[in-house]
Structure 1
């Protein structure tokens, strides 16, 4: 029933998108939305600082969106590792954090491991403080969460390259053998190698909601497509069939997991409001970097690249 409802809703939104005029006036700070041109600016910035992301275009040119450049239709990051299932991260209600809520029943963004002391993602280890600040800003209006003492220092290009090299030294080799209680099958096979699931991540521009939208396609350890049930193992239980739905990708005929964009503008606007209250501004070029940071609450075990620091 959930799947049928989501399909009907998706069809209705597709019609709505066709009837929605193209946003041409910047309303980034006022409402948290993007124009198509601003989406391209933010995408270029992401690629410059996180080179695992690239621009892409559909194989079928009839699917191109006329309001976007032909060679910059959507963003893609391939072979993103997913080492563990969400069930492997022990749930504790005391660690739960509501990132955003509107008072409409169960419609809320929830990070089930917000206060965890465990570095359950490599990206959290790299940029833990800034993720925490961004998430807190989405809920606690009026609280001064961006302390001067914790501001990220601005980095030039050489510093960024140096940091990437340092981080590469610390990142685990996904093909390296790591002994554990559940590794008996691998040892019996004599391979000595632990394989991992991977995901292809796409970011499209949603013309109806006027925000980025994240899409995911998962592969098992043998590079075979994951089933819907298998992909759900990698998504936060609080967001399945609510925030996360399975719909047809706008640039292909593939059914992919998607994080529904109806709340994205609201969350980004709260972050901008917090920064303005603290006398700080944020450029539209950082939109997708911030967007990917709060997406981590929904897909906590998929280790995509959003490690650029932000000058607060």
Structure 2
């Protein structure tokens, strides 16, 4: 079933026309130009991330040739997601996908908005596992952020490796995605930027809704608050976590979009140490 979904997803990517109309404040979607702007900001603030080109056959002409995908490499993962995940509110949609962030009421909207902000507060109980991981539990990941034309949002791809450096199977990588998401929001597919490889992807069907809710949560935060707050993501900093302070400020800018997006992704993959990739300059 995963392969069927992946094939449909790949086909949709190439058939959907590109939109250049900015609606990110109202819909959570971004245009290719806004994706590049947000990527430039991410690379500037967090230099473990960098732009990369695509395989020759995968170049997308609506993006600069040298800015086809964002990548960070060798991200550590010491603890499996099933040992740290907490309850997450999920909803079943007509298309059969399990949704994250699709509110059915005002109360649900508030609960959804808390998920990404609060997931790591529950990691304090796992300090021993985080501090003294067994050698056989150590994994590393290369993380890629591509642009999805079909959903007009970023799309995260994961490629994992064992302690010996061997590629992880999709089944292995599923262990690093919280159980509530594995079956319905994960696909196994060939990435839109690289030939002859298969990766695990976090399906973007509901990313726009999630981003819209999260943007509402950070509108009052300054640029410094956002970058410092995301730098605290991950299990390694569970003891040092701190709440973002709310200050008077303008709405979140589009260049900060990917920083907030990674906050959401970190809540789905809590065992992957995203703080490693988000250390501020």
Spell out, residue by residue over 1:64-111, the C-alpha distance to the aligned partner (whole angstroms, 9 max, x if none): 00000000000000000001122443x6xxx5243x757768823386
Q: How far apart are the structure 1 equivalents of 2:92 and 2:217? A: 17
Question: Do the aligned partners of 1:235 and 1:300 also contact (CA within 8 Å) in 2?
Answer: yes
Task: Give yes or no for contact 1:236–1:299 (8 Å, CA) kept in 2.
Answer: yes
Query: What SS does the corresponding residue of 2:124 show, helix, strand or coil?
Result: coil
Distance 1:18 1:40 in 2: 19
- Mapped contact 2:181–2:268 kept (Cα < 8 A): yes
Q: Is the 8 A contact 1:200 1:218 kept in 2?
A: yes
Distance in 1 between residues matched to 2:48 and 2:148, nearest whole Å? 22
* Change over 3 Å in CA distance of 1:300–1:117 after alignment to 2: closer
What is the count of residue pairs matched by the alignment?
233
In the alignment, structure 2 segments of 5+ residues that lack a partner are 101-111, 221-247
1:306 counterpart = 2:278? yes
- 1:79 and 2:74 are equivalent in the alignment: yes
Q: Which residue of 2 aligns with 1:18?
A: 14
Q: Of residues 62, 65, 70 in structure 2, which corresponds to 1:70?
A: 65
Aligned mate of 1:38, from 31, 34, 44: 34
Aligned to 1:234, what secondary structure does the other structure show?
coil
- Following TM superposition, by how much is the alpha carbon of 1:245 offset from its aligned partner in structure 2, in angstroms? 1.8
1:225: which partner in 2? 167
Task: Decide whether aligned partners of structure 1 residues 85 and 282 sit closer, same or farther in structure 2, where only a CA change above 3 A counts.
Answer: same
Q: In terms of Rg, which structure is larger?
A: 1
Rounded to whole Å, the distance in 1 between the matches of 2:11 and 2:197 is 19
Give TM-score, length-normalised by structure 2.
0.73
Moved more, 35-44 or 102-111: 102-111
Cα deviation for residue 119 of structure 1 reads 7.4
CA contact (8 A) 1:292 1:306 kept: no
Aligned partners of 1:217, 1:61: CA distance in 2, in Å?
20
- 2:56 maps to which of 44, 61, 65: 61
Q: Secondary structure at the match of 1:296?
A: helix
CA distance in 2, matches of 1:81, 1:31: 33
Is structure 2 residue 124 aligned with structure 1 residue 118? Answer: yes
**For residues 196 and 263 of structure 1, do their structure 2 counterparts lie closer, same or farther at Cα, with a shift above 3 Å needed?**
same
Q: Please tell me whether residue 29 in structure 1 is matched to residue 1 in structure 2.
A: no
Q: Secondary structure at the match of 1:230?
A: helix
- The equivalent position to 1:287 in structure 2, one of 257, 262, 266, is 257
The Cα RMSD (Å) is 3.1
**How far apart in 1 are the matches of 2:268 and 2:8?**
24
Alpha-carbon deviation of 1:281?
Answer: 0.6
Name 2:98's counterpart in structure 1: 107
Q: Which of 189, 193, 198 is the equivalent residue of 1:255?
A: 198
Q: TM-score, normalised by structure 1?
A: 0.66
SS of 1:290's equivalent in the other structure is helix
Given the superposition, is the C-alpha separation of residues 272 and 101 from structure 1 closer, same or farther in structure 2, using an over 3 Å criterion?
farther
User: Within the alignment, does 1:9 sit opposite 2:5 as a pair?
Assistant: yes
**Could you tell me how far apart the structure 2 residues matched to 1:16 and 1:117 are?**
37
The 5-angstrom pairing of residues 59-208 of structure 1 reads: 60-89=55-84, 95-98=86-89, 101=91, 107-109=98-100, 114=119, 115-116=121-122, 118=124, 178=132, 196-208=138-150
- 2:243 alignment partner in structure 1: none
1:243-287 deviations in Å (ceiling 9; x for gaps): 122111112221111000001101111233455699841100011
More helix, by proportion: 2
